[in-house]
Amino acid sequence: MASKTSLIVSLIVVLVGILSGTLSTQGVEVNATVYIRSDGRIDPPTVPISSLDSITYTFNDDIYDSIVIERDNIVVNGTGHVLQGMGIAGSKGILLTGRNNITISNMKITAFHCGIYLHESTNTRMLENNITGNWDGIYLRSSSNNFIVGNNITANNDDGILIAWSSNYNNIVGNNIANNNYGIYVLDSSENSIYHNNFSTNTKQVHSENSANLWSSDYPSGGNYWSDHNPPDEDKDKIGDIPYIINENNVDMFPLVYPYGFVSKPDVNEDGTVNIIDIAAVAAAFGSEPGDERWNPMTDMDMNEIVNIIDIASVARDFG
């Protein structure tokens, strides 16, 4: 009987070892924090990240836990893959503390308390990421001279971007910031340049406290697009004639009439088909110009700042 029991125990040990080895080899579903160490090592080495030069780190598959970066002067390229957490309070998708010259690009970051967290870090570039479904999308804490450019920062439960505790001289440019509770929440941080972003249907577009920041580039480059701001544009330069006022120290002097990077589409509501709903949307805005109550920039197919029969015809051509 004792011999039989020993055999069973041995088999169980062997089976556990095999399963553990398999999970480690796959490296994707194992929930263990990933480290890029200061000497360039990837820890654990089984995660689907590769680097030939200890400078560029590339995702080879989705990753299901946090990444802590301990090395300066590197690029982390998600190659379109997902970095996903489990929605745990305090969790961070990518964590940088005291880092310099990091690029984080081309990944979807979701289901963390904070998607990207910088503390006392500088010269970091966050480029073309999809940051969605977190509590906070990006948090800059005491971090200056960083770049947040070309990201989709959407549907985060609290802040799309949180900037606090003397995070100054950052550049936030060309991002789509939509459907968050706060688009950007700024506290005790100034001299940040924030322009060419699309602020769309956030519960509150911006909260700014004890801060003075720049919300537009020079004319005619312009500022940001605000979905809750519909200024007239008498000279048809695609810059609204009425500034967007956040508070006395934060004003977008040159708000955009159209979303930044806007390209008109017959599929006005972007549901994948051109149908009567799209024609109805154009018809509802028919005859309107910027500043009119019925103005909808998405329905102006030729971007001439008036919705007319030409726009209806453009949609009708692709009907069905």
Q: Tell me, what CATH number does 47's domain have?
A: 2.160.20
Assess whether 312 and 233 both reside in one domain. Answer: no
pLDDT of residue 27: 38
Residue 18 domain-assigned?
no
H-helix or E-strand containing 277?
A: helix 276-284
Residue 270 domain-assigned?
no
Assess whether 295 and 234 both reside in one domain. Answer: no
Domain count, the chain: 2
């080895």: which residue's tokens?
21
- 55 and 74 in contact (C-beta within 8 Å)? yes
Question: How far, in Å, are 34, 88, 135 from residue 109 at the CA level?
Answer: 15, 14, 11
Residue 139 domain-assigned?
yes
β-strands 34-36, 42-43 pairing: antiparallel
- Find how far residue 157's CA is from the centre of its chain: 13
Residue 289 domain-assigned?
yes
The range of the structural domain enclosing residue 231 comes to 26-252
Give ∠ CA 55-164-177 in degrees, rounded to 5: 75
Residue 231 domain-assigned?
yes
The 3-class SS string of 37-105 reads CCCCCEECCCCCEECCCCCEEEECCCECCCEEECCCCEEEECCCCEEECCCCCCCEEEEEECCECEEEE
Assess whether 233 and 301 both reside in one domain. Answer: no
Both tokens of 67, joined, read 């990444």
- 119 and 98 in contact (C-beta within 8 Å)? yes
Assess whether 248 and 282 both reside in one domain. Answer: no
Assess whether 217 and 292 both reside in one domain. Answer: no
- 173 and 195 in contact (C-beta within 8 Å)? yes
Residue 266 domain-assigned?
no
pLDDT of residue 182: 98
Assess whether 155 and 101 both reside in one domain. Answer: yes
Q: Does pTM surpass 0.85? A: yes
Assess whether 77 and 189 both reside in one domain. Answer: yes
Both tokens of 19, joined, read 């399963």
Residue 141 domain-assigned?
yes
10-residue averages of pLDDT along the chain (320 residues) = 42 36 40 92 97 97 98 98 96 98 98 98 98 98 98 98 98 98 98 98 98 97 98 98 98 98 95 96 97 97 97 94
Both tokens of 60, joined, read 């080879």
Assess whether 139 and 281 both reside in one domain. Answer: no
Residue 12 domain-assigned?
no
pLDDT of residue 19: 36
Assess whether 125 and 182 both reside in one domain. Answer: yes
Assess whether 227 and 303 both reside in one domain. Answer: no
CATH code where residue 294 lies: 1.10.1330.10
Assess whether 190 and 105 both reside in one domain. Answer: yes
Instruction: Give the type of residue at 30.
Output: V
Assess whether 81 and 32 both reside in one domain. Answer: yes
